[in-house]
A and B are shown apart, each in its own frame.
Chain A
């Protein structure tokens, strides 16, 4: 019953977040509605954009560069995976991550008008951006499953791993969202920096290419494996498209990084959130 103003320990913070779930969901709905209201295609845009990007990259790689950088081992049943589907699969998971992190930087400063008028656990602001990216991801995933079923075959039992992989990506994104949204309050440059950095990160993740494609350069492979998105993207593709088990070692590393990022983000956010309403 008693709520001390001085923020309590982690459990209390988590309880508070859960207590604000209705408000969080309302903010997610607000984000989604505002983003698509007034546009002709509405929610369809969240599907149209990645499909157009897949089309664009497919054109560039297949007709201009004439390489197919997706060289994973074939499925156990020997069926080939079309490059466009291969790319789309990695892209959906990447979009979940990139949309969460990209939108999170402004989640606190963009809500200055709320911070000054009501109290709510401030962490629901970055949380809401991550969750609205998750809703968009849900639509993309549905399309991905249909496309996969049509072009490659029905999903295998490996698909059961997908929720675990998505959960790791969500944790990573939420940790970074906490960290970056708090940093942006004090340093507005973060938004621009993150925009550029996410481009770099995209190419540093085997989304449009496979790890096998670069395996002739072991140093590069080792570097890529340090990227916490590598394991999740590779594993996601394995379980959704390729009927293979996830890369458990990489996935475990990603999970550790995810938890560490959440801890770091929560620590920074928790330290600074009390002055948000005065600084923004």
Chain B
């Protein structure tokens, strides 16, 4: 088993999707339209990648870069058009929760069916069955059809089945880690366990923190090719730099004008030209850090003088799109007048965002948001890094504060010395 032979070996793997403009499924359509109109879209363009046995590899890249296609190709769900792909070892793909679950079957039956689809033998499932039921916490419902489960019960059972797999090669799509935070933690634990057992793990993830923490290696896929691969720390750093410099075509840093207006009809009388972040760490390209000052600089142009105009921003978390903060100049009581080109700035003394990916929405509209001049919905990435002390926290925002503790005199002393009543606290 040892030796240098890679667990997965991709050699010049090309994969195209045929995008049908109008696909004919029935005989009538086939005869009438004669041929299908389609375009070939090359999702993978000559991937060369070796995944060494026993390593944990993260695949990162922007949306549409081909990383999920690569994972599905490794999982043999997709067949490459050109090139070869060799897999050495028993493989389980975890691309979704509850693969193959049938609503009419009971929990127990689905455990066996789902596990066997993930490549587990009946004996392996027998051994792990109690563990699965235990983890799902629904021992009383194992003989109930899963169509009668609550969505929470269903998710727990599906998740328990997913993390019970014990393959030689594990392929994981990040979809597994969405949702319940407990699942996420347990999922990472399980991946770490499998890694320590010598299992080869390949993870596709948007969470760079996950990749850095979990993976020894990383491969950065960009527009269907391997941009860089190597130790995960180096690859993630290089990727972050590129995202911040707006060099990636798929990255939100390079705005695509046609999309992302948040569903608003834009009048175009005022337009957002570009958005940058000014930080003390130099230049508009550098990473943002929790607790640092940062200024969001918005360049605008108006085709005619506009008085009733408001510039708004909104910050969403990148993982679950929770709105962290939103405000516009009208709400802030700042009267904005736009004429020709202008620069609107929003200065933050201490950035209260926690480490991770966020998006910035910038909009120009009238005070009542009835007329929308321009709206760049979640178009700008706000990638926040943090030092270790600030990283060790939880929640949507980072609140800068200092902890302290003072030993108080004996309790008896307190009674004799009445403190100020609560309402006397100065406003």
* Total count of chain A residues near the partner, CB < 8 A: 31
Known A3-B87, A118-B75, A119-B91; 6 more pairs at CB < 8 Å: A5-B80, A23-B117, A118-B95, A118-B100, A118-B118, A278-B78
B77 at the interface (CB under 8 A from A): yes
In the complex, which of the residues B76, B93, B104, B117 contacts A5, with contact meaning CB atoms closer than 8 Å? B76
A275, chain B: closest CB distance, angstroms:
7
Specify which chain B residues have a CB less than 8 angstroms from the CB of A275 in the assembled complex.
Answer: 79
B354, chain A: closest CB distance, angstroms:
33
Judging by beta carbons under 8 Å apart, are A117 and B99 in contact? Answer: yes
**CB-CB nearest in chain B for A31:** B102
Question: Which residues B81-98 have CB closer than 8 A to chain A?
Answer: 84-89, 91, 93, 95-96
Question: Which residues B1-44 have CB closer than 8 A to chain A?
Answer: 17-18, 25-27, 30
A contact residues vs B (CB 8 Å cutoff) = 1-6, 22-23, 26-27, 29-30, 33-34, 37-38, 113-120, 187-189, 274-275, 277-278
A115 to B18, CA, bound (A): 17
Judging by beta carbons under 8 Å apart, are B113 and A1 in contact? Answer: no
Given A22-B122, A26-B113, A114-B117, the answer on whether A119 and B93 have CB atoms closer than 8 Å is yes
B contact residues vs A (CB 8 Å cutoff) = 17-18, 25-27, 30, 73, 75-80, 84-89, 91, 93, 95-96, 99-100, 102, 104-105, 109, 112-113, 116-119, 121-122, 145
**CB-CB nearest in chain B for A37:** B104
A3 to B9, CA, bound (A): 11
Judging by beta carbons under 8 Å apart, are B86 and A2 in contact? Answer: yes
Judging by beta carbons under 8 Å apart, are B86 and A4 in contact? Answer: yes
Judging by beta carbons under 8 Å apart, are B121 and A188 in contact? Answer: no
Specify which chain A residues have a CB less than 8 angstroms from the CB of B84 in the assembled complex.
Answer: 4-6
**CB-CB nearest in chain A for B120:** A22
A120 to B100, CA, bound (A): 12
In the complex, which of the residues A118, A120, A188 contacts B26, with contact meaning CB atoms closer than 8 Å? A188
Judging by beta carbons under 8 Å apart, are B113 and A30 in contact? Answer: yes
Specify which chain A residues have a CB less than 8 angstroms from the CB of B89 in the assembled complex.
Answer: 1
**How many A-B contacts at CB < 8 Å in the complex?**
89
Specify which chain A residues have a CB less than 8 angstroms from the CB of B105 in the assembled complex.
Answer: 30, 33-34, 37
In the complex, which of the residues B25, B95, B121 contacts A117, with contact meaning CB atoms closer than 8 Å? B95
Specify which chain A residues have a CB less than 8 angstroms from the CB of B26 in the assembled complex.
Answer: 187-189
Specify which chain A residues have a CB less than 8 angstroms from the CB of B112 in the assembled complex.
Answer: 26
Given A34-B102, A37-B104, A187-B26, the answer on whether A5 and B87 have CB atoms closer than 8 Å is yes
28 interchain pairs (CB within 8 A)?
A: A3-B86, A3-B88, A4-B86, A5-B86, A5-B87, A6-B84, A22-B122, A26-B113, A26-B116, A26-B117, A29-B113, A30-B109, A30-B113, A33-B105, A33-B109, A34-B104, A37-B104, A113-B100, A114-B100, A114-B117, A116-B95, A117-B93, A118-B93, A118-B119, A187-B26, A188-B25, A189-B26, A278-B18
Specify which chain A residues have a CB less than 8 angstroms from the CB of B109 in the assembled complex.
Answer: 29-30, 33
Specify which chain B residues have a CB less than 8 angstroms from the CB of A2 in the assembled complex.
Answer: 86, 88
Judging by beta carbons under 8 Å apart, are B116 and A22 in contact? Answer: yes
Given A3-B87, A30-B105, A34-B104, the answer on whether A22 and B121 have CB atoms closer than 8 Å is yes
**CB-CB nearest in chain B for A2:** B88
**CB-CB nearest in chain B for A190:** B27
A26 to B95, CA, bound (A): 21
A187 to B89, CA, bound (A): 36
Judging by beta carbons under 8 Å apart, are A120 and B117 in contact? Answer: yes
Given A22-B122, A189-B26, the answer on whether A118 and B99 have CB atoms closer than 8 Å is yes
- Name the residue in A2, A23, A27, A274 with the highest tally of chain B Cβ atoms < 10 Å from its Cβ: A23
**CB-CB nearest in chain B for A187:** B27
Specify which chain B residues have a CB less than 8 angstroms from the CB of A6 in the assembled complex.
Answer: 79, 84
**CB-CB nearest in chain A for B27:** A189
B63, chain A: closest CB distance, angstroms:
19
Specify which chain A residues have a CB less than 8 angstroms from the CB of B102 in the assembled complex.
Answer: 30, 34
Judging by beta carbons under 8 Å apart, are B77 and A277 in contact? Answer: yes
A37 to B102, CA, bound (A): 12
A187 to B23, CA, bound (A): 11
The 8 A-B residue pairs whose C-beta atoms are closest, nearest first, are A274-B79, A119-B76, A189-B27, A117-B99, A23-B116, A5-B85, A26-B116, A34-B104
Specify which chain A residues have a CB less than 8 angstroms from the CB of B145 in the assembled complex.
Answer: 37
A106, chain B: closest CB distance, angstroms:
13
Specify which chain B residues have a CB less than 8 angstroms from the CB of A38 in the assembled complex.
Answer: 104
**CB-CB nearest in chain A for B16:** A278
Judging by beta carbons under 8 Å apart, are B77 and A118 in contact? Answer: yes
